[in-house]
Amino acid sequence: MPAALPMNDDHTLYDFKVKSLAGEDVDLADYKGKLVLVVNTASKCGLTPQYKGLQTLFDKYKEKDFVVLGFPANDFNEQEPGTSKEISEYCTLNYGVTFPMFEKSTVKGEKKIELYKWLIANSDRPKDEIEWNFA
């Protein structure tokens, strides 16, 4: 992971690098020019069926430069206990997920990944933390 980025208006989503579920480095600059939906996910949550809706959105609008970026997180009642391989297989087999998914990440608390620190710091949401899965 890159060094921490200062939290200021000089940075964008596209300054971050993350790892895919397959362990490959991904530069979010690859998504520049697209409408990007970043979502934290979990496979053992009452909201898990939202994968289907996210996949439907991705399929419908990907040709119009829309992309969903999924970040599995185990932060909420340990509802994402799987390995990267297990998460990938589950999402593919149960929901046909083809949108980009990234390695399991921490999205709340002091150990949250730099991307989520930046997202929260630059959000107009009234909360300081992500509140649940699929937020």
- Catalytic residue numbers read 45
Write down how long the chain is. Answer: 135
CB neighbours (10 Å) of residue 18? Answer: 20
Which of 95, 114, 121, 93 minimizes the C-alpha distance to 41?
95
Confirm if 103 and 84 have CB atoms less than 8 A apart.
Answer: yes
Per-residue CA distances from 125 to 40, 63, 109, 117 (Å): 16, 29, 16, 13
Q: How far apart are alpha carbons 87 and 101 in whole angstroms?
A: 9
